[in-house]
Structure 1
Amino acid sequence: MISPNTCWLTVCMCHKKTLLANLKGKGQIKHKTSMDPSTGDGSEPVCKKAKLEIDDLAVVSAVSDPTSNITPNVSDYAQVTSQADENVEATDHIETTTEADVSPSHKPLTEVEAGITEYLNPNTGFRAIIKQRYSDFNVNEIDQAGNVVRLTDMSVPAEEKPKEDPIPKVKDIDAKIINEENRSKLEALIKSEDKSGRVNIPAPDAKDLRTQIHLVVKQSYPQLETKTEEINGQKMIQAFWRKGKTRDSRRDEWPASKRSCRFVKFVLYKENKDTMDAIGLIAKLLKIKENVFQYAGTKDRRARTSQEITANRVHPEKLVILNKLLRNMGVGNFTYVEEPLKLGQLLGNRFTIVLRNVEASKEVIEEALVSLKSSGFINYFGMQRFGTTSVPTHKIGSALLHGDWKKAVDLILMPRTEFPNKMKFQKIWQETGDAKKTLQEVPRYCSLERNLLQGLERKQQPITALERISRNTRMLYVHSYQALVWNHMISRRLVKLGHKPVIGDLVLSKNNSSEACSPVVVTAENLKDYSIEDVVLPLPGHSVVYPGNEVHEWYREMLKEDGLDIDNMKRPQKDYSLPGAYRHIVIVPVDVSWSHHQYDDYTLSLTLSDWDRLKEQRLPEPVEKGKFQAVVLEMTLPPSCYATMALREVLKLDTSAAHQASLNIT
């Protein structure tokens, strides 16, 4: 399952089964111990070609070479983490959100409102709790080579550690240019921890001699800068520490054997944090921009997850220090690569999920899980896609697609009772519309709202101020609207036309192995060649074709009800001019397995995370006759497929946070 903070990359691909073909071919998924450079280009296909909707939200903005000092900002850590943790659960405990926590006029989206109404299989469901603890939900990315990404090593390879800048020997410097006394002062400055020190060298009258001194200091002591100053009436050449690291000094610390590799790839392990929040915290501590980091897709917040990240010219020695600072996060498995990760450069995700407080016989459980393994589930976009607050993300997306920039701003800043720590500034904005006054109450960690309000404070138009929000987040909003339409269309398609292909459906050809395969329209002649697993539906956009049956008109009707024209999906603003994509309506997971467990204490973990394995922790001893029953389910899904929707198919239960909270027990 992919977290709500995701968007789409529209790429040309053939049938979904190719995504996991090498996983099945291997027989056993390899565990990730080393990482190879990614090779995909993430380019967009030609119009009207099949674009398979996949997971993304890699950093797609231009990759910059950081120019600031990237020593971790330890002094900022306590404040950053303590503030940020107000938005997430500090410990692993039962989720307590209930319907009573939100106002009657603004409630989180329900499954029915999100178009999630149907089931694929007729098996009997059973009662169970999903994510009673975030440690019950474990996600490991699968890279393009079919390796399960795991955090297994948190050290920096010895041969890759940066070498300290050598201090030149006295004999290496021409005594005619800088005498021994001044050389000793320069060496003392280099060895000193006091970065505010200065060395003043009397400046010769001849300009060429002064130039030589500047050059010798620069070449011999790259850590220092020089300038000519008049001090007490005498002209002096003053040497002092550089502010931050220059491009040259960063190159000096980069391993000579890795000069062709601009990027470090590493595994990010996180608990109970969104991917973008985790990256934001890392960037804050290292005092660099977030777009230095790239990833193939975001992972769930309320989970324990491992995924690959690339960083532009950030040495592992800097990153590994974070392991001493970060709570519930870790980095490791460092390697140097030539290219950054791009959105969609993954084969899928490996899930290990604990279903707690299961109330069913083993026969009922087995029947449901066997059905999932053999027949799959409806590939709905899960509730996470639409956010968990009283302002669903698709409403903001709809405002953006309509070009109603002020409405989009107001929705983003609308009070949400789910986050009481934000209510004060949100109410100020709602009541006054005064950006300056609102900014005074915005916590530092609310970077999205702060960036938006700073633009408004500078008298920027709403459309310009919105651009201060990361492109990834803005794409989340509009793609959420696409997802809502898709969910409603697939439910109506299954109700009206059944669970088999029909004439006019769109399928992705099994036989076309090229990356630029067009969707095939099902006809009377080829109907027998396809199953429901081959059928795709488009996400609305200007570069997709629609089914050649009544489904096309259903799209037109729904968009018209929302004030949108299916034939006019291009926008003057490129970011909101959506090409669309194709998504399979049914997914069959691979490498599915499960086990039954008994337990008494819900606070004890029933699965091991990468972090647990690094610390050589063990699971508690099995309980033969416990008070409660649990099922541990493992499966692999393609990108952008929601594990909660697979669980919904098994349990026949509402997967919304409010409903799951009502099932919790203590």
Structure 2
Amino acid sequence: MKQDGDGASVPACFISNHEGFRGNIKKFTRDFVVTEIDIDGRQVTTQGPPHCSGKTSGSSQQDQNLQGWEDADLSADCRFDLTISSPDSLDLSMVLGQAVSEQLDQFVVSLRDEAEEGEKSQGHKELSLGSFTDKYQRANVHRAVRHRFPFLMTVTIQPEIRVREDPDYRALSQLVTEEEAEDFFRFIEAKVQDSSYTFNPDDNKEHRTAVHHFLNRRFGKLVETKSFNQQERTAISVRLRERGRPKKRSAEERREEDVYTAFTLCKENMETLEAISYMAATLGVLPSDFTYAGIKDKRAVTYQSMVVKKVSPQRLMEKRAELEKRGMRLSHIHSVAEPLKLGRLQGNHFDLVVRNLRLHGARDAHLAAETRHRLAGLVEEALENVKVRGFVNYYGPQRFGTGQSVQSDLVGLALLKEDMVNAVRLFFSPEDGDDPPSQAKRHFLQTDNAKESLALMPASKARERLMLRALNRYGTGPEGCAKAWLSLPHGMRVFYPHAYCSRVWNEAVAYRLATLGHHVRKGDLVWMREADKTDDCGESRAAQIHVVTEEEEQQGVYALAQVLLPMPGNTVKYPENSVGTWYRERLARDGLDNCRFRVGCLKLNLPGCYRPLLANLCNLSYRLQANEERGGGEATGTSSSRTSDGHSTTATEDAKCESLTLTLNFDLDSSCYATICLREIMKCDL
């Protein structure tokens, strides 16, 4: 395999045999502009407000069309959800500010130190979190602190917010371990109906009675307790009462909870998690209050639909200028009735620029007229081939983490093998440079000091900071590393095992094409019918999968575009030919021959899915333009254009033209990668 420009290994196997050409992509951020296509087939930047199912609420006056940048959006991979929902996964520095967040962490540590030493605070030990004049911000500071530390109480002495330890937590921690007390309070705070929490086994009946009495006295209206035998030992189980309800909300609170505002987000050179964190902090809501149809890449201008809960259109518009200063532009702001579901999109429209076209083997892009003419022919041949035959549907470099010295699939392999310590160390592998994130990672690997590394890690590196906070709290041993992974939201955790499975899928496709060719063979898996694409990546688990018979191979019943290959998992079937054997041997080489594709301690389950071997682009048009580069500018010369219907136009040539630039416009289904499509067109790694 070869390394592409983003550092991810992609097999050098193609479906067409044209010669191709070379060129530079993403020379400028705006060379890679992509617009999300909603479920109704509309580009979110040109067809009005983003679509959400359900009746739209609010007046038409609130539906604002706010003009921003050139419209753009990059489709990457939408399998994993980056919403932050678990208590340990909220970075409070985005809500409170870095200094106050660190003071709060120290306050919690001091409370724990007192508990370990058996000290009793005189009165109520408190910490001021500062003054908050905005009532929305005050409400969400309360909510965010309880979300992160459910054993703390927040009190408003307007406009100041103070925090203190919940006395019930201290009392319970005298009866059970501190970890059990904390987990119990998280259970109470979550209020998930029909859920239960079980304390560690306890063979002391008098002690169990004391715990029962305390829980029934302090929480009896909300929970019921009972003792039961567990592997010849006795433990206490706590269950929410069927009639248990959270505190009754006011009419105003109910109205705020039911508010959903849709908008189109344009961001440039920014990760999705980073953008959501900034917006959540600015609006005083949690990151999990944001929903979207797909995850977008960093290295591009991106334009996508989003919905935020508990924020009115008017309030969102008030914060528009503040968000714009951070590189985020919002448009098409309007009320809707419900959140946006992950995977609710048809695909993405791409507007790409490939600069400095040249022949394979050429050293530079300064072209003679004869060479330019030949290049123009190669470009047209390549595009027509891919338009007709499609391209190999590899997972692109975004799937594995761009620009990383250690790819995400290696982290995923360590997680599947339940080697938590090695997975953490791979996660913190630094780049070769001396940038601040690499310095912080290097410091952690050299010293094992998570606290010092956290101080060095930039605030924008949300994943790394969440991990370091947990490692500082729980330690860097196997148990601490497992809890560090649990501090990430589920969608972020599962990304790494999915990256490993995607790597195996890429290699399986290359093996399939190299050994069985470009025809459907006996034992291949194919579509039986057009399946409902319910998976958040456009892949389907519900499709009827058929194994090709020898007779069907001879009669040519199926086309190569119908062939599927499975993503490894615990519910998929493998091809019944040499490719199936290859899968088993490949997994065995990595020590996963008996893998159940479940990581219980991280609450991860990988059922697997099926992905088409080939993908197709639609609505293709292109323009080949000759130009002379002058210190970053361009003087336009000859240009020729062609649309998918074959119509072409030609302009006048400038005698000073030296290089060619290709502008491409096309649509792809969700989960398909434009960089992979370009590889097939150009026949080179990008």
TM range (shorter): 0.5 to 0.7
Q: In the alignment, is the contact (CA less than 8 A) between 1:389 and 1:418 conserved in 2?
A: no
Greater mean alpha carbon deviation, residues 471-480 or residues 395-404: 471-480
What is aligned with 1:533?
A: 561
**C-alpha separation in 2, matches of 1:222 and 1:440:** 29
Q: In the alignment, is the contact (CA less than 8 A) between 1:274 and 1:298 conserved in 2?
A: no
**C-alpha separation in 2, matches of 1:637 and 1:272:** 21
Q: In the alignment, is the contact (CA less than 8 A) between 1:555 and 1:566 conserved in 2?
A: no
1:160 matched to 2:62: yes
Cα shift at 1:250: 5.5
**C-alpha separation in 1, matches of 2:635 and 2:251:** 48
For the structure 1 residues 597 and 587, does the alpha-carbon distance in structure 2 shift closer, same or farther, using more than 3 Å as the test? same
1:454 matched to 2:469: yes
Deviations 1:163-215 (A, max 9, x none): xxxxxxxxxxxxxxxxxxxxxxxxxxxxxxxxxxxxxxxxxxxxxxxxxxxxx
SS at match of 1:147: coil
What is aligned with 1:571?
A: 599
1:379 matched to 2:393: yes
Name the amino acid aligned to 1:264. Answer: T
Work out which of the residue numbers 416, 419, 425 in structure 2 matches 1:410. 425
What is aligned with 1:484?
A: 503
**C-alpha separation in 2, matches of 1:581 and 1:649:** 24
What is aligned with 1:643?
A: 674
**C-alpha separation in 2, matches of 1:484 and 1:240:** 55
For the structure 1 residues 329 and 361, does the alpha-carbon distance in structure 2 shift closer, same or farther, using more than 3 Å as the test? same
Deviations 1:23-67 (A, max 9, x none): xxxxxxxxxxxxxxxxxxxxxxxxxxxxxxxxxxxxxxxxxxxxx
Q: In the alignment, is the contact (CA less than 8 A) between 1:354 and 1:606 conserved in 2?
A: no
**C-alpha separation in 2, matches of 1:386 and 1:545:** 24
Cα shift at 1:409: 1.2
What is aligned with 1:499?
A: 518
Deviations 1:370-399 (A, max 9, x none): 001111110111122212210111111111
SS at match of 2:410: helix
**C-alpha separation in 2, matches of 1:356 and 1:331:** 30
Deviations 1:467-509 (A, max 9, x none): 1123222222111101110011100100000011101101112
**C-alpha separation in 2, matches of 1:633 and 1:147:** 19
Work out which of the residue numbers 375, 379, 389 in structure 2 matches 1:361. 375
Name the amino acid aligned to 2:395. Answer: F
Deviations 1:399-419 (A, max 9, x none): 111111111111222222356
Cα shift at 1:511: 6.0
Pairs within 5 Å for 1:302-317: 302-317=299-314
SS at match of 1:565: coil
For the structure 1 residues 323 and 526, does the alpha-carbon distance in structure 2 shift closer, same or farther, using more than 3 Å as the test? same
1:521 matched to 2:515: no
Greater mean alpha carbon deviation, residues 275-284 or residues 402-411: 275-284
Name the amino acid aligned to 1:365. Answer: V
What is aligned with 2:335?
A: 336
For the structure 1 residues 567 and 476, does the alpha-carbon distance in structure 2 shift closer, same or farther, using more than 3 Å as the test? closer
- How many equivalent residue pairs? 459
**C-alpha separation in 1, matches of 2:352 and 2:580:** 37
**C-alpha separation in 2, matches of 1:317 and 1:468:** 34
Pairs within 5 Å for 1:620-635: 624=654, 626-635=657-666
Q: Where does structure 2 lack aligned partners over 5 or more consecutive residues?
A: 50-57, 65-134, 140-155, 162-247, 359-373, 535-541, 637-650
1:318 matched to 2:315: yes
Greater mean alpha carbon deviation, residues 399-408 or residues 423-432: 423-432
**C-alpha separation in 1, matches of 2:440 and 2:533:** 52
What is aligned with 1:132?
A: 27
Cα shift at 1:142: 0.8
Cα shift at 1:420: 1.2
Pairs within 5 Å for 1:252-331: 262-325=259-322, 326-327=324-325, 328-331=327-330
**C-alpha separation in 2, matches of 1:386 and 1:280:** 22
Pairs within 5 Å for 1:113-192: 114-150=9-45, 159-160=61-62
For the structure 1 residues 419 and 247, does the alpha-carbon distance in structure 2 shift closer, same or farther, using more than 3 Å as the test? farther
What is aligned with 2:490?
A: 471
Cα shift at 1:152: 8.0
For the structure 1 residues 317 and 600, does the alpha-carbon distance in structure 2 shift closer, same or farther, using more than 3 Å as the test? farther
What is aligned with 2:74?
A: none
Cα shift at 1:536: 0.6
For the structure 1 residues 433 and 623, does the alpha-carbon distance in structure 2 shift closer, same or farther, using more than 3 Å as the test? farther
- TM-score norm. by structure 1 comes to 0.63
Q: In the alignment, is the contact (CA less than 8 A) between 1:505 and 1:521 conserved in 2?
A: yes
For the structure 1 residues 501 and 108, does the alpha-carbon distance in structure 2 shift closer, same or farther, using more than 3 Å as the test? closer
| Structure with greater contact order relative to length (CA < 8 Å, sep ≥ 6) | 1
For the structure 1 residues 266 and 110, does the alpha-carbon distance in structure 2 shift closer, same or farther, using more than 3 Å as the test? closer
Deviations 1:522-554 (A, max 9, x none): 113433221110001000000111111111111
**C-alpha separation in 1, matches of 2:408 and 2:545:** 29
**C-alpha separation in 1, matches of 2:39 and 2:418:** 38
Q: In the alignment, is the contact (CA less than 8 A) between 2:450 and 2:468 conserved in 1?
A: yes
SS at match of 1:273: coil
**C-alpha separation in 2, matches of 1:569 and 1:318:** 44
What is aligned with 2:225?
A: none
**C-alpha separation in 1, matches of 2:160 and 2:251:** 12
**C-alpha separation in 2, matches of 1:564 and 1:575:** 18
Cα shift at 1:629: 1.2
Q: In the alignment, is the contact (CA less than 8 A) between 2:261 and 2:336 conserved in 1?
A: yes
**C-alpha separation in 1, matches of 2:545 and 2:653:** 52
What is aligned with 2:226?
A: none
Name the amino acid aligned to 1:285. Answer: T
Deviations 1:576-610 (A, max 9, x none): 32100111111111111111223334845999xxx
Cα shift at 1:519: 0.8
Greater mean alpha carbon deviation, residues 107-116 or residues 426-435: 107-116
**C-alpha separation in 2, matches of 1:512 and 1:459:** 45
**C-alpha separation in 1, matches of 2:351 and 2:313:** 29
For the structure 1 residues 563 and 605, does the alpha-carbon distance in structure 2 shift closer, same or farther, using more than 3 Å as the test? farther
SS at match of 1:500: coil
Give the alignment's Cα RMSD to 1 decimal. Answer: 3.5
SS at match of 1:510: coil
**C-alpha separation in 2, matches of 1:465 and 1:282:** 25
1:653 matched to 2:684: yes
For the structure 1 residues 493 and 431, does the alpha-carbon distance in structure 2 shift closer, same or farther, using more than 3 Å as the test? same
Name the amino acid aligned to 1:486. Answer: W
Cα shift at 1:281: 1.8
Cα shift at 1:262: 3.7
**C-alpha separation in 2, matches of 1:448 and 1:572:** 21
Q: In the alignment, is the contact (CA less than 8 A) between 2:619 and 2:665 conserved in 1?
A: yes
Cα shift at 1:510: 3.1
Cα shift at 1:109: 7.4
Name the amino acid aligned to 1:437. Answer: E
What is aligned with 2:586?
A: 558
Name the amino acid aligned to 1:278. Answer: A
**C-alpha separation in 2, matches of 1:312 and 1:578:** 29
**C-alpha separation in 2, matches of 1:487 and 1:149:** 31
Pairs within 5 Å for 1:57-136: 114-136=9-31
1:592 matched to 2:620: yes
SS at match of 2:304: strand
Cα shift at 1:248: 4.8
Name the amino acid aligned to 1:580. Answer: G
For the structure 1 residues 269 and 111, does the alpha-carbon distance in structure 2 shift closer, same or farther, using more than 3 Å as the test? closer
What is aligned with 2:528?
A: 509
Name the amino acid aligned to 1:301. Answer: K
- TM-score norm. by structure 2 comes to 0.61
1:393 matched to 2:408: yes
Q: In the alignment, is the contact (CA less than 8 A) between 1:265 and 1:335 conserved in 2?
A: yes
Percent of pairs identical after alignment?
A: 33
